[in-house]
Structure 1
Amino acid sequence: MALLAHLDGNGAVTFLITVPAMLPLFNKLGMDKRILVGITALSAGVNFLPWTGPMIRASAALNISTHDLFIPLIPAQICGLVFMVLMGYYWGKKEEKRLGLSGSNPLAGSSASFDAQQHVKELTDEEKALRRPHMFWINIALVVCVIGTMVFTKISPTVAFMVALTVALMVNYPNVEMQKARINAHAKAALMMASILFAAGAFTGIMGGAGMLKAMSEAAVGFVPPALASHIPFVVGLISMPLSLVFDPDSYYFGIMPVIAHTGEMLGVPAIQVAQASVLGQMTTGFPVSPLTPATFLLCSLAGVDLADHQKFSIPVLWAASVVMTFACVIFGVFPL
């Protein structure tokens, strides 16, 4: 559920969909709620996609297309998804044993039976006017086409989304006034992301044009033995997840990563490898436990789990997922060991 919900790349939406739906089941069975939080965080963390924040930031900071960044990482991501499924199975079997439910129907008996409850949300007239149930399959096809275009072609995500938005508005809301209303309803979030990217572009442009990036990279080169230069992406991949606890995404991707990437380039390491190593953990597997993201606190509050308990339980597993994907990148030749 969390994996599918996170297809839009929004952690808060993922947690709002997954945790309230599964929490009653966990409470009724007496299961450890840290597992609910942990598997939700792990599922969202390994599901980084071309349109997620870290990928877009890495692309903008180094002027590399998200297609070139993402496609080589697909085998490593599959390994991360397999790790996620295995961890879910392990936690489930562990709880089954702890609760003494092995070999029996966990919902049998009055103590674990569910009362028939219906949760019906009454839509307002305004919300009903926006619904398009008859357009469901057309919209699904449009989403699949956009995802396929971004993943399997070199067409810019900007172009893909702009064309898809135009088609979606024309098909679902032919009336111009309704189109304006839909755009205005989401303009704040869209403009916020656009302003961040513009500001980040100006920041990195000034640093590059003024020579600051080059100066910092030259200073860093003196501390890196040339024989170890090829290991930079591997090391970044190993520590990228813990870096989420120290740097927020903008600070890292627009301040720290360009320096590391330029340092690597001066030592013969492609900058794209540093970016790929970064997205294996920095605010991907790391964002659900980072105190620097509001989504972490939302996840804990929804499940009623203390932040410290969540971090102690989930950090080792999320870090392990990042390490698994890093080694997978080495095995599949994305970057050298």
Structure 2
Amino acid sequence: MRILVTGGAGYIGGTVAHVLMEHGHDVIVLDNLCHARRSMVPTGAEFVEGDIADRALLKNLFARGIDGVMHFAALIEAGESMKKPEIYFRNNTASTLALLESMLEAGVKRFVFSSTAAVYGEPESVPIREDAPLRPTNAYGESKLLVEQMLSWFHRIHGFRYASLRYFNVAGALPGRGEDHEPESHLIPLILDVALGRRGNIKIFGNDYPTPDGTCIRDYIHVHDLARAHLLALDALGGRERLIYNLGNGSGFSVRQVIEAARSMTGRAISVEELPRRAGDPAVLIASSEKIGTELGWKPQHSSLEEIIGSAWEWHQQRYA
């Protein structure tokens, strides 16, 4: 199939584009490079620099015969979304509407959406299942939930086929391909920056959460496992119309546990600075991925925190060598 990958110059989008090509798909990457790098586009993929809100550009792309869209283009910083919610609704919600309208006009109806566990907000119970209440606690999660609601209506009215994949914390690396955000906001690469001496310390935001060590607990998934799930969802849309899945390991680790694991894997001292909580951070987010396992046969292959951090550490050292 010929697949348009929006945000395909980013960490997750670029990895998925790479795996798509490994499986014989023809890939076109669309990215405005606002928080991405041209070097992350996999070799052999066609790259188009542009924005998903550019209707004329999209019309030209879809006229070339696109079989499906994998949509990763979005702003992703929950903390920033609580300071500038307007840019999240413009970039994540309104721009996605332009993309969906262009798909409808072109008759392209197979769509895999990069959603987020942030749509759940503060969960009533863990592990979180897909039928849990959707009550985001930050504007980032709300911007993604609005897209999910649009997709539901597009499916109901237009027969639009889509998969919404709700991620938890994605980490790890493939050989020569890893996390490289600018600016960086994710815990594991920030910790590894400290291990390399590129930062003075790692900041812990909040030590008084209702968790065993007082720090937030998150579910970490290796980026290659995530990419495999996307391909399974894309294939499943050939026979199914609407898929909603969590993607995670099913077990959680606190911020302190991640720091300790990084100290062990790197052999480096990692200084910590403890700060107050950030607005909108739930205490615990752990996924139940039972549904995608039962329906599509997906199961994480790289589930240990040590393996995830180890692969990220190898990449992190190479990128600054």
**Which TM class, normalised by the smaller chain length?**
under 0.3
TM-score by length of 1: 0.24
Larger radius of gyration: 1
TM-score by length of 2: 0.24
**Greater strand share, structure number:** 2
**Greater relative contact order (CA < 8 Å, ≥ 6 in sequence):** 1
